[in-house]
Chains A and B, each alone.
Chain A
């Protein structure tokens, strides 16, 4: 248990009567890229601010690298935080912003110079040293904010919505750069984000939070394929969720009035999940076999690499995503077509919340 690099134990925090964090436990390993994911108000930013030291937990402990930092003031913590809107100092230029933290630690000027110029070339900020903060682009500001933290060689870097202020195209590109940088430097990253796609593509592991509680911790595949409950399933990607009823040795999908067979019949399941890309549809109706149903296409959205279909079956609507692997205009399924939907039995995931 003490093997984890950052250990958050039973941390709770209230603001007045609202519970921001409720008995949060997290163990993060060294050099891990960990995301805290959740919609606004879930407590992810509060947790980040508690780790940084700007808020004090009502109860619980935080250990970093074997040291109890729960009561350590922010300026003495061996970690740094990249703020959401970067919080760059407007009265200082790029170089002075980057040097700031090193000067506070009273390093020799030669040390400061060499570390600063090293990080400036690492983050490709050469030539911008003398610019004021408002004279550089958003993407450059983001890199300055990153450089300002990384130059201090922190044990842990906290990033509060690091990509939220960038436009979509830059965001995707920066995502890869960030992962690359983290891999190169081996610094532990904790990223707060509300964007599930971002969390999926960045993280080694992630924690999904809701109203102050951690619902699930896992790597992106686990969280997507095996969500612990309906909230997580809906939060990550698109989910078709059905209620199921146990009948003798079988389960029946209530909405479609059809059979499914879980691998573990002994457990008490209440719901099942079938991801849209696991449901395939075709126009030709064959015999009625297990794991398939008939439906009518209600909406079609062509999205280039794949097509989204909204299917209505037995009065219930669900999604199916089909890859557009070949140009097949004449086979294209249209509105109001009658289709057959089918899935493999191992594509159905069962849970009880």
Chain B
């Protein structure tokens, strides 16, 4: 009984700590007061303001665009890396390739951002590309740090499943060139999807690397939000937080139910 109590208490305190700030933010997004923390009454006022804020809306659109493109390219490259490392034995300078594909995972983002910015400036001096910093440079940077995360997911999936099924396909008459599309890709599809989702959130969430590599017309949502909350509080950002969190929670609940019915099947 004592141990049960310990369990409940740890879990309650733990989850309270995780959710208290999120829930407070959502609650105060409905506060009808310009001074964020003094409760005046319930209203949707800040949501209205938020949707009229062109800067935030534009940043949101840019962020979604970069995140989906970055996730797609990172997934393609990540699948290639995972496949190469688990299925192809003859890779020139294989340890160097492993080093390249895993070290973005442990590289502090401030160093990553700095190195990419210096690279873009030098490359612009040398060959005139990229012509200026902007959405393209942010996109390239996001792909670069997301690739490693996708590669890890794909690699662990590829090395955990029975390699015999690829041989079985060949034994049953599949020509070698088609095995990847007919067998490997469909089998690892769930990992490909979770890799894409992870890369998408990484891009959507990134502030530091984007701050280094951004240019005119490429202010992503985190950059705009950061500039708004750096020195003070913003009721519009409260409303934005509530919307984002609601969205995440809904996605999580949907995922939970889809998964649960899958298991029961």
CA distance A53 to B174 in the complex (A): 13
* Cβ contacts under 8 Å, B258 to chain A: none
Q: 18 A-B Cβ contacts within 8 A? A: A54-B167, A74-B170, A75-B170, A80-B172, A81-B167, A81-B168, A81-B171, A83-B164, A83-B167, A84-B164, A85-B164, A87-B165, A91-B187, A91-B189, A100-B172, A104-B172, A104-B174, A152-B172
- Residue from A52, A89, A135, A152 having most chain B Cβ neighbours under 10 A: A89
Contact bitstring A161-191, B, C-beta under 8 A = 1, else 0: 0000000000000000000000000000000
Q: With contacts defined as CB atoms under 8 Å apart, how many contacts are there between chain A and chain B in the complex?
A: 61
Inter-chain contact B187/A83, CB cutoff 8 Å: no
* Cβ contacts under 8 Å, A76 to chain B: 173
**A90 at interface (Cβ–Cβ under 8 A)?**
yes
* Cβ contacts under 8 Å, B176 to chain A: 73, 75
**B57 at interface (Cβ–Cβ under 8 A)?**
no
Interchain nearest-CB distance for B176 vs A (Å): 7
CA distance A148 to B169 in the complex (A): 11
* Cβ contacts under 8 Å, B186 to chain A: 91
Inter-chain contact B168/A83, CB cutoff 8 Å: yes
CA distance A52 to B167 in the complex (A): 10
Inter-chain contact A101/B173, CB cutoff 8 Å: yes
Contact bitstring B100-113, A, C-beta under 8 A = 1, else 0: 00000000000000
Interchain nearest-CB distance for B181 vs A (Å): 12
Known: A73-B176, A75-B175. A85 touches B169 (CB 8 A): no
* Cβ contacts under 8 Å, A52 to chain B: 167, 171
**A248 at interface (Cβ–Cβ under 8 A)?**
no
* Cβ contacts under 8 Å, A74 to chain B: 167, 170-171
Contact bitstring A226-260, B, C-beta under 8 A = 1, else 0: 00000000000000000000000000000000000
* Cβ contacts under 8 Å, A87 to chain B: 162, 164-165, 167-168
CA distance A149 to B176 in the complex (A): 18
Interchain nearest-CB distance for B21 vs A (Å): 41
Q: Name which residue of chain A comes closest to B185, CB basis.
A: A91
Inter-chain contact B173/A104, CB cutoff 8 Å: yes
Interface residues of A, count at CB 8 A: 26
**B11 at interface (Cβ–Cβ under 8 A)?**
no
Interchain nearest-CB distance for A9 vs B (Å): 23
CA distance A80 to B187 in the complex (A): 22
Q: Name which residue of chain A comes closest to B172, CB basis.
A: A101
**A88 at interface (Cβ–Cβ under 8 A)?**
yes
Instruction: Select A85's contact among B162, B174, B189, B265, beta carbons within 8 Å.
Output: B162
**B183 at interface (Cβ–Cβ under 8 A)?**
yes
Within 8 A of A (CB), among B161-204: 161-162, 164-165, 167-176, 183, 186-187, 189
CA distance A73 to B169 in the complex (A): 13
* Cβ contacts under 8 Å, A148 to chain B: 172
Instruction: Select A75's contact among B162, B173, B187, B265, beta carbons within 8 Å.
Output: B173
CA distance A152 to B171 in the complex (A): 11
Contact bitstring A54-77, B, C-beta under 8 A = 1, else 0: 100000000000000000011111
CA distance A323 to B112 in the complex (A): 79
Inter-chain contact B174/A89, CB cutoff 8 Å: no
**A105 at interface (Cβ–Cβ under 8 A)?**
yes
Known: A73-B176, A75-B176, A84-B164. A89 touches B171 (CB 8 A): no
CA distance A319 to B172 in the complex (A): 48
CA distance A149 to B172 in the complex (A): 7
Interchain nearest-CB distance for B65 vs A (Å): 32
Inter-chain contact A75/B167, CB cutoff 8 Å: no
CA distance A262 to B189 in the complex (A): 69
* Cβ contacts under 8 Å, A135 to chain B: 265
CA distance A236 to B40 in the complex (A): 89
CA distance A52 to B171 in the complex (A): 7
* Cβ contacts under 8 Å, A90 to chain B: 161, 165, 187
* Cβ contacts under 8 Å, B189 to chain A: 91
Known: A75-B173, A75-B174, A101-B173. A89 touches B167 (CB 8 A): no
Interchain nearest-CB distance for B246 vs A (Å): 34
Interchain nearest-CB distance for B188 vs A (Å): 9
CA distance A60 to B31 in the complex (A): 84
* Cβ contacts under 8 Å, A80 to chain B: 171-172
Q: Name which residue of chain B comes closest to A76, CB basis.
A: B173
- Residue from A77, A83, A135, A152 having most chain B Cβ neighbours under 10 A: A83
CA distance A186 to B187 in the complex (A): 35
* Cβ contacts under 8 Å, B175 to chain A: 75
CA distance A138 to B131 in the complex (A): 61
Interchain nearest-CB distance for B90 vs A (Å): 16
* Cβ contacts under 8 Å, A54 to chain B: 167, 170
Interchain nearest-CB distance for A136 vs B (Å): 13
Q: Name which residue of chain B comes closest to A89, CB basis.
A: B165
CA distance A73 to B175 in the complex (A): 9
Q: Name which residue of chain B comes closest to A105, CB basis.
A: B173
CA distance A53 to B176 in the complex (A): 13
* Cβ contacts under 8 Å, A100 to chain B: 169, 172
Contact bitstring B75-115, A, C-beta under 8 A = 1, else 0: 00000000000000000000000000000000000000000
CA distance A105 to B161 in the complex (A): 26
Contact bitstring A119-132, B, C-beta under 8 A = 1, else 0: 00000000000000
CA distance A74 to B171 in the complex (A): 5
Known: A73-B176, A75-B176. A88 touches B165 (CB 8 A): yes
* Cβ contacts under 8 Å, B174 to chain A: 75, 104
The 3 residue pairs across chains A and B that have the minimum distance between CB atoms: A101-B172, A104-B173, A87-B164
Within 8 A of B (CB), among A78-107: 80-81, 83-85, 87-91, 100-101, 104-105
